[in-house]
Structure 1
């Protein structure tokens, strides 16, 4: 982006840039709740159109964020000396209605897209047609040899539609069950995430996959899926898309899945119970087939991560990363009031506001020994696409990235006495956070809704898979307080996630202040955070330990 565009963006949209002291000193080192609030107001405004990737809203958002970084005196850290890292993606848009039918028990059943079945595709083709396709129930769809689990048992599901339960096999089992604890109990593992389930179905050669929705296991009601189901689907460009993506993927309401099983002489509750045993074998729904027919348009496009940096004084090759995704859902299904803009005020204009405040504090303070990197990620809501691209094409080496501090969904209002740590106990980073929190009269707690699998649903995760230790605290979608429960129920991933004139951000400011303390401690020191022994990400990090000496 040219300096002229940045300056134009700042003057036209910024309003905050004039307040930036851009590294010239004079900072009191405190996060400013008014600045946080103003950033959220701007980014969540209707003129940003919900910040949908590849839309005019993206152009406005990334230009504005880059302008803020520039005004603060940071250095561009993207491709070829720019503020941006280009992320190649495919964009898929529904083209006409979907015909979804099943032959079961001698009759043909027709289902409505959105209300009963949600289905789409990441294959770059104009039409998906599956005709009279056999249906197989594969339990939780998990292949985890390290946990002694294989739901497929060698059964060939190529060319079939597979039904899978949401979450993990031990999510709802009794405490005395032999399965209890195999998949972290109530805490969802990556195997419980729909992303994994789609990937595993593709690896097995399935033609389609439908995850059976239950609110408890998914962590959100059906309308959360339905409301965003008409938004464009995005996917990173794949070298071998046919091997990595099924033809059709999506969700099915539990009563619909139970009805199909009943038509095959099977009982849903009985099959679900059987799937909670390591002895489970796939069950074909005899006499049941499904047909799917829907069109789509697809385009090869690009979206962009925004990247800014402050170079360290004595160890510039060691990097402390901070991140927050800029995207929401753009225009999607309108609510009863006719509002179709998914403004994403809490999720995640608030996180970007926190990121910019951290950048300001680091810029205004003396430079740290290690470098600091500030990433505003693209296409998180589409499946962490910007972060996945970065993990494959990092701007700085992952081996010498000290840690990744992630901000996603900071709630407005006063501070809560407790701070939720997503992934509590996974790294020793929380020890430092806890020390600082206790000093100001606050305490840390584990995610009160571990079944949601929030650790695997935000932008730190693709880098964690590559070994980078992560700290993800103070997320507002955890249900840890009445405010967060109301937010999840009434606003999360809905057009009502909008900025309000009554908002204040004192609590978010306290949370970001604590994250600044952890980040500055890392950036000024020599500590290399570690994954807890036995953690799923420990081994990959240890491979590169020699790079960090």
Structure 2
């Protein structure tokens, strides 16, 4: 199932409303659409204004977004396509709120307590009341990709059950577009954080730490901290335990580099090796990760527009 929540629909709406900006009545909808950059910009500015309160799902702001989009579509000459002549379609989601987050890295006598939003950003989209991982071993799995159609497998059949996978964001072509393994520098779905977590669940991992790097992620650490420090959402799943890892996380690059160094590894050298089909997972021998946090899970109704 795929859904477009009201806050995610903003960019789609901007383009759609702009395309129909010259069509003030239903008859004109069939005219050749003209995209207006100024109109697209205005839609984005409006929806990103503080008065829309961040466009959060299942918040009072969602209704503001729905109203703006619906009125815009109506003005452009569209008719509502939802049930009973409505502009929206109900979408039931699971909502996850994590609290009391504690996390640490350990290697020998060295321990690094980590603060949520500073060194690490931790969340879950797996129904639970409490998540507890104690001294889980860490394994670097490159880009964390298994793509048979591209003859690519970062896991090489290793048993990763119960382990924390340390992965790179994006895919190998970002650092070296000439490889053209994943179609060049443009990110494929394999490069997205959503895929990294999904594949880790298929591998039986206990969790994932994506190493944040601004360029390949295309956003800074503050975006990560802000995005994963708030409630997370997911569609309803028949078997969420098989499709979601208990812990989804990001870790600051400097923290990862230091951890690798303490484990006798060179982070930058391993990044280069990870660009090859021959890459083999690398255990961070002696290193472990622990985390505990509470989770409040409930169902909410969001809306497709």
* TM bucket normalised to smaller: 0.7 to 0.9
Give 1:232's aligned residue. Answer: 231
TM-score, normalised relative to structure 2: 0.83
1:90 is aligned to 2:94: yes
Check 1:31–1:133 CA distance in 2 against 1; reply closer, same or farther (3 A cut): closer
Measure the CA separation in 2 of the matches of 1:206 and 1:28.
51
Check 1:151–1:162 CA distance in 2 against 1; reply closer, same or farther (3 A cut): same
Give 2:160's aligned residue. Answer: 157
Map residues 126-525 of structure 1 onto 2, 5 A cutoff. 126-173=129-176, 175=178, 180-306=179-305
1:76 is aligned to 2:80: yes
Measure the CA separation in 2 of the matches of 1:37 and 1:284.
47
Check 1:181–1:302 CA distance in 2 against 1; reply closer, same or farther (3 A cut): same
Asked whether the equivalents of residues 137 and 288 of structure 2 are also in contact (C-alpha less than 8 Å), the reply is yes
Of structures 1 and 2, the larger Rg is shown by 1
Asked whether the equivalents of residues 162 and 201 of structure 1 are also in contact (C-alpha less than 8 Å), the reply is yes
Note the alpha carbon deviations across 1:204-244, whole angstroms, 9 max, x for none.
Answer: 11010011112222222222222333232111111211111
Asked whether the equivalents of residues 101 and 111 of structure 1 are also in contact (C-alpha less than 8 Å), the reply is yes
Q: Secondary structure at the match of 1:228?
A: helix
Check 1:32–1:158 CA distance in 2 against 1; reply closer, same or farther (3 A cut): closer
Measure the CA separation in 1 of the matches of 2:161 and 2:128.
20
Q: Give the drift of 1:186.
A: 2.3
Aligned residues: 283
Q: Give the drift of 1:153.
A: 0.8
Check 1:81–1:286 CA distance in 2 against 1; reply closer, same or farther (3 A cut): same
TM-score, normalised relative to structure 1: 0.48
1:122 is aligned to 2:125: yes
Measure the CA separation in 1 of the matches of 2:172 and 2:38.
45
Structure 2 residue runs without a partner (length 5+): 1-21
Asked whether the equivalents of residues 123 and 249 of structure 2 are also in contact (C-alpha less than 8 Å), the reply is yes
Asked whether the equivalents of residues 105 and 263 of structure 1 are also in contact (C-alpha less than 8 Å), the reply is no
My pick for the range that moved more, 218-227 or 233-242, is 218-227
Structure 1 residue runs without a partner (length 5+): 1-18, 307-549
Give 2:51's aligned residue. Answer: 47
Check 1:83–1:286 CA distance in 2 against 1; reply closer, same or farther (3 A cut): same
My pick for the range that moved more, 55-64 or 271-280, is 271-280
Following TM superposition, the consecutive aligned residue runs of length 4 or more in structure 1 with deviations greater than 6 angstroms are 27-35
Q: Secondary structure at the match of 2:175?
A: coil
Give 2:70's aligned residue. Answer: 66
Note the alpha carbon deviations across 1:319-358, whole angstroms, 9 max, x for none.
Answer: xxxxxxxxxxxxxxxxxxxxxxxxxxxxxxxxxxxxxxxx
1:56 is aligned to 2:60: yes
Asked whether the equivalents of residues 79 and 86 of structure 1 are also in contact (C-alpha less than 8 Å), the reply is no
